[in-house]
Amino acid sequence: MTSRLMSGNEAIAQGAWEAGVAFAAGYPGTPSTEVLERLATYDEIDAQWSTNEKVAFDEGMGAALGGVRTMVTMKHVGLNVAADPFMVFPYAGTNAGFVVLVADDPGMYSSQNEQDSRYLAKVAKVPVLEPADAAEAKQMIKTAFELSERFTTPVMFRTTTRLAHTRGVAEEGERVEVPRRQFSRKVSQYAIPVYARFRRPELEEKLARLREFAETFDGNVIEDGDPKIGVVSHGIPYQYVKEVAPQATVFKLGMVYPLPEKKLKEFCARFETVYVVEESEGFIQQELASFGISNVIGKERFTNIGELSADLVAAGLNGTPVPDDFAGEVAILPRPPVLCAGCPHRGVFSTLKKLGALVTGDIGCYTLGCLPPFDAMHTTFCMGASIGNATGFNRAGEEKVVAVIGDSTFLHAGLPGILSAAYNAVPTTTILLDNGTTGMTGHQEHPGTGHTLKGGPAPAVDYEALIKSLGVEHVEVVDPWDLAATERAIVAGLAHHGPAVIIARRHCNLLPEEKVREHATYRVDPDECIVCEDCFETGCPALVWQDDLPYIREWECVGCSMCSQLCPVDAIGLAEGA
Amino acid sequence: MAVTNVLIAGVGGQGAVLASELLALAAIAAGHDVKQGEFHGVAQRGGAVFSHVRFGDRVHSPMAPRGKVDYLLALEKLEALRYAHFVKPGGTIIVNDHKVEPIRVGDQRPYPDDAIDVLEGKGFNVVVIKATEKANELGNHRAANVVLLGALSASLDIPQETWKSTLQERIPEKLLALNQQAFAAGRQLFTP
């Protein structure tokens, strides 16, 4: 066996491969994405991007019932999309091992909310395993499959951003093939709505057996230390505890639901006070309270907002202050992410700003349209919400409303919104930003790209035909680099009496084929420039100030020409020799 | 061996993550336990990016506590300021003599051109390296990350041979010569 550097996500994929996983499905979502990308590199695993997490979950259920070990992957908000099957599947139970990987994002590095998925697992009555680093993740995912088959239950494998994206040393092992299990057509087990009332007590019995199992599970470990300092922890927070209080006696939970009640009662009785160090909500703390354990300090000292850190855990355990940064003494300017130079989304947002439209947004890079210089996105909530929100604003009497949604998001959750607007004849105007990829999560394929996760060819969705087939009569395609055409198209869409869709089509500049595309670059003629700053309305990072004049950094310019189109005195032209 | 803490900071697209991966790989090859955790938001370019690399006998937390970092490697001056509070008193800050103006979102204060003076005033051992200039001389400004890594390398408990093999294994062949030169140039620029 060889050891190598692996991220938590890579280690999970490695472990799942070793565990004999045969089918894997998911939808991209930071910080979960790389698990499925990695799974796709193994020949033995059928891995696919599904159109959304519910579809992935449904497909995964089918595969697991069909008898092969299956993993579905998603971020925490993806589990909300898949919540319907997630809540019902436990009533049936699985056939072959079924693990749903859910990556939470405390600190919201790339998410719209903080959500502690352990609560959803509790509602679904599904056991949850959570590793503390890459090496442990690689082993624990195997346990997850064994547990799933032993108790015929779906298992949640919960990670967080820090676990997913931290690299550590983990061992590569061998794959063990698992024979396919026969599916028995037992209607009384799998036709849930009809038989749910009969299945319901069995779900409670299964949970009771899982509670018993938790008492002896070797992933729940007591690490003895100072008999006066007792800590209950799990996952990444456990590492912070070991960092700042290596002397403490720690009850480390590898299974965070259901909890080993007897063992925890015995443990807590050994100490005057027990500290529960957990990230996000006080889930374990509340469970302990429900067991009648009262000598606990948890969320009183360890915030439920954002990500914990060694510093915050030290402050909570030892009372040491968290050192401040130097922002109080010197101007540490923020450096937020920006849309790339020549990003096609820029053309749409500078036009929407000019038109003064009320813009309902969606989830993707283009959410940055809400920031200066555009200020051209006024609401953003979750996948697909833009279209329904725009329809609602229309219903409320707002006149100039535009929904903006990316191609991958549109296929994930936008279609029902368009169909509803068409069905109800609401004049919702939607701009579909078709950049030919799932941009924000790092360029994953989707049903519009013509390729599968494994790189094979696939039919690419014909957006125009698809949208027209839903009952939308007004569908127009524009190049968002052409500002005049983009403006005409949006104005025409808004003027249309029924629902309208404008497809702003141009590939993301970061796609490999775009990066090597030959292109011109532009430059500002200092003698012609009147310093009106109109070009800065593009917000392009290639355009900077130099000697009190706008200046285009040639190495960053991709030749989109949008700044040139905005210049009122033609001071921006092709660079010489281009 | 006690844990050595390195923090690498830069602007998205400058290669802070690759530099930290190279360091983590070299540390493993040298027989250390390693954790490397990177912090970035969405995948667009231009945002602040930083990464912790910790190595030693046994590493727990993916990120070093504040005030415990031995070496801060900054690919940009403002980013050195942003993370300097992680550095231990008297710790070393190796900073690229390079400025990238952030896109302004509301905050209209001028760029802190006195960044180096501020850091020196706090008693840090500040080492200014013209890494981007050096990388440009070698033919590609993107190699500044490896110039800085070279500058850091002489201070760490990782043999020269290990660095060599790590670069060879991780860097694609067509960029290997450039990165080897960048590393050697950086190493020449700073020896503690």
Collect all residues of chain A within an 8 Å Cβ-Cβ radius of residue B48: 335
Q: Is the Cβ of A548 closer than 8 Å to some Cβ of chain B?
A: no
**Residue A240 Cα, gap to closest chain B Cα (Å):** 5
β-strand partners of A430: A403, A501
Q: Please identify among residues 92-111 of chain B the ones whose CB lies closer than 8 Å to any CB of chain A.
A: 101-107, 109-111
β-strand partners of A23: A46, A70
Instruction: Tell me what pLDDT residue A577 has.
Output: 55
Q: What are phi and psi of B166, to 5 degrees?
A: -65, -45
% of chain A exceeding 70 in pLDDT = 99
ω before A373 within 30° of 0 (cis)? yes
Q: Is the Cβ of B72 closer than 8 Å to some Cβ of chain A?
A: no
> Chain A: residue nearest B40 by CA?
A109
Whether residue A467 is predicted with pLDDT greater than 90 in this model: the reply is: yes
**Residue in the block written with tokens 């696919």:** A48
Q: To 5 degrees, how large is the angle CA A511–CA A512–CA A513?
A: 95
Under an 8 A CB cutoff, do A310 and B36 touch? no
Q: Is the Cβ of B140 closer than 8 Å to some Cβ of chain A?
A: no
Measured N-to-C along each axis, helices B144-153 and B160-170 cross at an angle, to the nearest 10 degrees, of 160
**Residue in the block written with tokens 């300017």:** A333
Instruction: Tell me what pLDDT residue A357 has.
Output: 97
The residue of A335, A365, A540 whose CB has the most chain B CBs within 10 angstroms, and thus the best one to mutate to test that interface, is A335
Under an 8 A CB cutoff, do B103 and A336 touch? yes
Nearest CB partner across the interface for B25, out of A5, A329, A331: A5
CA dihedral A463, A468, A474, A477 (to 10 degrees): 20
Under an 8 A CB cutoff, do A326 and B122 touch? yes
Q: What share of chain A is helix, strand, coil (3-state, %, to 5)?
A: 40, 20, 40
Q: Is the Cβ of A457 closer than 8 Å to some Cβ of chain B?
A: no
Q: How confident is the model at residue A578 (pLDDT cuts 50, 70, 90)?
A: very low
User: A29-80: per-residue pLDDT in tens?
Assistant: 999 999 999 999 999 999 999 999 999 999 999 999 999 999 999 999 999 9
Nearest CB partner across the interface for A243, out of B61, B66, B109: B61
User: A272-310: per-residue pLDDT in tens?
Assistant: 999 999 999 999 999 999 999 999 999 999 999 999 999
Q: Is the Cβ of A323 closer than 8 Å to some Cβ of chain B?
A: yes
Query: How many angstroms separate the CA atoms of A482 and A485, rounded?
Result: 6
Collect all residues of chain A within an 8 Å Cβ-Cβ radius of residue B34: 5, 167-169
Helices in A343-452 by DSSP H: which ranges?
345-355, 385-396, 407-409, 415-423
**Nearest CA to A564 among A552, A577, A556?**
A552
Do residues A248 and A226 make contact, with C-beta atoms less than 8 angstroms apart? Answer: yes
Under an 8 A CB cutoff, do A330 and B112 touch? yes
**Residue A100 Cα, gap to closest chain B Cα (Å):** 24
Instruction: Tell me the domain boundaries of chain B.
Output: 4-189
The residue of A159, A326, A516 whose CB has the most chain B CBs within 10 angstroms, and thus the best one to mutate to test that interface, is A326
Q: To 5 degrees, how large is the angle CA A127–CA A215–CA A154?
A: 15
Collect all residues of chain A within an 8 Å Cβ-Cβ radius of residue B60: 239-240, 242-243
**Nearest CA to A517 among A482, A480, A560?**
A560
DSSP string of A364-391, one letter each residue: SGGGGGGSTTT----B--STTHHHHHHH
Gyration radius of chain B over CA positions: 16
**Residue in the block written with tokens 């068409």:** A422
Collect all residues of chain A within an 8 Å Cβ-Cβ radius of residue B81: 326, 330, 332
Please count the helices (runs of H) and the strands (runs of E) in chain B: 7, 6
β-strand partners of A232: A251, A276
Instruction: Tell me what pLDDT residue B1 has.
Output: 63
% of chain A exceeding 90 in pLDDT = 94
Under an 8 A CB cutoff, do B36 and A325 touch? no
Count CB pairs under 8 A between chains A and B: 150
Q: Is the Cβ of B18 closer than 8 Å to some Cβ of chain A?
A: no
Instruction: Tell me what pLDDT residue B12 has.
Output: 86
**Nearest CA to A139 among A254, A243, A291, A289?**
A254
Is domain A522-574 annotated with CATH 3.30.70.20?
A: yes
Q: Hey, which CATH number is domain A2-216, 3.40.50.970, 3.40.50.300, 3.40.50.2300, 3.30.70.100? A: 3.40.50.970
Measured N-to-C along each axis, helices A83-92 and A117-124 cross at an angle, to the nearest 10 degrees, of 40
Q: Is the Cβ of B41 closer than 8 Å to some Cβ of chain A?
A: yes
Nearest CB partner across the interface for B105, out of A165, A240, A371: A371
User: A144-167: per-residue pLDDT in tens?
Assistant: 999 999 999 999 999 999 999 999
Tally of residues, chain B: 192
Instruction: Tell me what pLDDT residue A29 has.
Output: 96
User: A91-106: per-residue pLDDT in tens?
Assistant: 999 999 999 999 999 9
Nearest CB partner across the interface for A442, out of B43, B60, B67: B43
Query: How many angstroms separate the CA atoms of A19 and A155, rounded?
Result: 14
State how far the alpha carbon of A330 is from the alpha carbons of A103, A135, A196, B46, in Å: 36, 41, 63, 21
Collect all residues of chain B within an 8 Å Cβ-Cβ radius of residue A323: 66-67, 85
Under an 8 A CB cutoff, do A168 and B35 touch? yes
Under an 8 A CB cutoff, do B47 and A338 touch? yes
In sequence order, the 6+-apart residues with CB closer than 8 A to the CB of A20 are A69, A145, A175, A176, A177, A178
Do residues B147 and B186 make contact, with C-beta atoms less than 8 angstroms apart? Answer: yes
Under an 8 A CB cutoff, do A337 and B114 touch? no
SS3 (DSSP) at B31 = coil
Under an 8 A CB cutoff, do A337 and B36 touch? no
Collect all residues of chain B within an 8 Å Cβ-Cβ radius of residue A335: 11, 46-48, 78-79, 82, 102-103
Whether residue A368 is predicted with pLDDT greater than 50 in this model: the reply is: yes
> Chain A: residue nearest B107 by CA?
A333
Per DSSP bridges, beta strands A70-75 and A98-104 are: parallel
**Residue A341 Cα, gap to closest chain B Cα (Å):** 9
Q: Please identify among residues 155-174 of chain B the ones whose CB lies closer than 8 Å to any CB of chain A.
A: none
Whether residue A383 is predicted with pLDDT greater than 70 in this model: the reply is: yes
Q: To 5 degrees, how large is the angle CA A418–CA A419–CA A422?
A: 85
Do residues A61 and A85 make contact, with C-beta atoms less than 8 angstroms apart? Answer: yes
The fold adopted by the segment(s) A221-318 is Rossmann fold (3.40.50)
Neighbours of A575 (CB within 10 A): 15
| Signed CA dihedral, A439, A442, A446, A448: sign only | positive
Collect all residues of chain A within an 8 Å Cβ-Cβ radius of residue B102: 333-336
Q: Is the Cβ of A178 closer than 8 Å to some Cβ of chain B?
A: no
Under an 8 A CB cutoff, do B78 and A323 touch? no
The CATH-assigned architecture of domain A345-514 is 3-Layer(aba) Sandwich (3.40)
Nearest CB partner across the interface for B44, out of A325, A326, A339: A339
DSSP character for B9? E
Instruction: Tell me the domain boundaries of chain A.
Output: 2-216, 221-318, 345-514, 522-574
Q: Is the Cβ of A310 closer than 8 Å to some Cβ of chain B?
A: yes
Q: Which CATH superfamily is domain B4-189 in?
A: Pyruvate-ferredoxin oxidoreductase, PFOR, domain III (3.40.920.10)
Tally of residues, chain A: 578
ω before B89 within 30° of 0 (cis)? no
Query: How many angstroms separate the CA atoms of A20 and A142, rounded?
Result: 9
Query: How many angstroms separate the CA atoms of A431 and A344, rounded?
Result: 13
Instruction: Tell me what pLDDT residue B106 has.
Output: 66
Query: How many angstroms separate the CA atoms of A461 and A271, rounded?
Result: 62
The residue of A75, A163, A326, A333 whose CB has the most chain B CBs within 10 angstroms, and thus the best one to mutate to test that interface, is A333
Q: What is the mean pLDDT of residues A325-329?
A: 92
Segments in chain B below pLDDT 70 = 1, 40-45, 105-107
Q: Is the Cβ of B36 closer than 8 Å to some Cβ of chain A?
A: yes
Name the helix (H) or strand (E) containing A466: helix A463-469
Do residues A241 and A265 make contact, with C-beta atoms less than 8 angstroms apart? Answer: no
**Nearest CA to B97 among B38, B151, B27?**
B151
Q: To 5 degrees, how large is the angle CA A398–CA A401–CA A404?
A: 150
The residue of A105, A330, A538 whose CB has the most chain B CBs within 10 angstroms, and thus the best one to mutate to test that interface, is A330
Collect all residues of chain B within an 8 Å Cβ-Cβ radius of residue A515: none
Two domains, one topology: A221-318 and A522-574: no
